Each structure stands twice: as structure tokens, then as C-alpha cells.
Chains A and B, each alone.
Chain A
Amino acid sequence: DVKVTQSSRYLVKRTGEKVFLECVQDMDHENMFWYRQDPGLGLRLIYFSYDVKMKEKGDIPEGYSVSREKKERFSLILESASTNQTSMYLCASSFGGARNTEAFFGQGTRLTVV
């Protein structure tokens, strides 16, 4: 059974804190993604990684960074959390290369910044 696991389901952080969201997949997928989902705005790509130590900016990378030191783990970092980063964060993974298979999603982390 394929699995993408996010470290927290709910998180409350204070403005200015450094926040780490962790994601682990057990499917040996090359690609990993971080999205945020807000009402009326759909799923927006923050960053994606197509290999270890490789990353590309998505549509809304400002205020975020990522780390992928191992193939199975992809971390999203909020350098200094702000209230406008309150959102649902979704991690996903997929095979890369020419296979273009579907993305599998983690359960999501609902982050509230106060």
C-alpha cells in the first residue's frame, strides 16, 4: 500500500518562528512536491524536487525553502512564519522521468500561524 506521510496533521506556530514540515514517501518516487491549498485558490505549487538535492521553485516559493537530502524525505521550511502562511499544506510524490504517473498525496498539515 503506497504511502506519503506528513509529520503533523495540525500545527500552531507563532509569527516569526521557523517551521519545518516533513514528508516521507515509501514508493521510491523520484518527484516530490509541496503544495498549499486555500479556499478559492486551489492547489498551488510551492516547490518540487525531481531528485535528491535537486529542487525547483513552483508558483509561490516566496517565504519558503525546501530540503531533500534523501530520496524518501522532502522538507518544507518556513524561515519566519507569517499569518498569511496559515493554510493547508499538502505533500505529494510521483515517479519521474518519462513515466508521468499520478501524484500520491499525504494527509495534509493544517498550519495556523498566530
Chain B
Amino acid sequence: QKEVEQNSGPLSVPEGAIASLNCTYSDRVSQSFFWYRQYSGKSPELIMSIYSNGDKEDGRFTAQLNKASQYVSLLIRDSQPSDSATYLCAVTGNAGKSTFGDGTTLTVKP
């Protein structure tokens, strides 16, 4: 079993729809959780971080964390073609080392 698993994708949604990205992790002592966006040929860039159970909203993005279920999700509301990218879930333990999922590729169709 991989330490961090993401829904395999690819995911395709129409413009204006909600995109839902999911991630599960195996290490219960994980402390920090991040979502990165990576455009083709570019480096990952942080879009959301979440550290405690519940929801965290930032503009069109909402991250959800459930430590009991070892589950993190990212919702993108009013999806835009510019949101088309690969989204990486990362989980960090107390040593500061991040483990990444394989990523989910999202395509938003105009």
C-alpha cells in the first residue's frame, strides 16, 4: 500500500463545475497536509495547506481534513480552464519530510 494515495484520474469537469480531488494516507502521526498544483513542464506550487480537522477555504479552493479517516480532499469551485493541471497531495510527518501522492490530472473543459 502506498503511503499517500490519490484518486487516479484523469478527472475532467466542465467549466464552472466543482472538481473534487481526494487523498488518503497511511501514517497516523502525519501532521501537515498540503495540496500542490503542477502545470505541465513546471514545478509544483502550493495552493492549500491544512493542519487540523475540518475545512479550510481560500477563494475557490476548500481543503478538508479528517484525521480519523486519514483523508484529505480538495474542492475547486467554479472550475476554470486555467485550473487544468496535475494536483499533488503531500503529507508531512514530524521530521518535516513530505511524502507525495502520484497526482491527479484535472482537465477543465470550456
Assign chain B's interface to a size class: 20 to 34
> Which chain B positions have C-beta within 8 A of A42?
88, 100-103
| Given contacts A48-B97, A50-B96, A90-B43, A103 and B90 within 8 Å (CB-CB) | yes
- Mark A10-48 against chain B: 1 for CB-CB distance below 8 A, else 0: 000000000000000000001101010000111101001
Closest to B4 in A: A42
A43 in contact with B34 given A90-B43, A108-B43 (CB within 8 Å): no
Q: For residue B32, which residues in chain A have a CB less than 8 angstroms away from its CB?
A: 100-101
Q: How far is the CA of A42 from the CA of B4 in the complex (A)?
A: 11
A105 within 8 A of B: yes
Interface size range of chain A in the complex = 20 to 34
Q: A42-B88, A100-B31, A100-B92 are in contact. Are A105 and B43 (CB under 8 A)?
A: yes
* Interface contact A100-B96, CB-CB below 8 Å: yes
Contact at A45–B99, with CB atoms within 8 Å?
A: yes
B78 contacts across to A, CB distance below 8 A: none
By beta carbon, the residue of chain A nearest B101 is A42
Given the contacts A50-B96, A90-B43, A102 and B34 also touching, CB distance less than 8 Å: yes
* A91 smallest CB distance to B (angstroms): 9
B95 contacts partner chain A, Cβ-Cβ < 8 Å: yes
The answer for the CA separation of A106 and B32 in the assembled complex, in Å, is 21
Residues of B within 8 A of A (CB): 31-32, 34, 42-46, 49, 51, 88, 90, 92, 94-103
A-B pairs with beta carbons under 8 Å apart, 11 shown: A31-B96, A33-B98, A42-B88, A43-B44, A45-B99, A56-B97, A98-B94, A100-B31, A100-B96, A101-B49, A103-B98
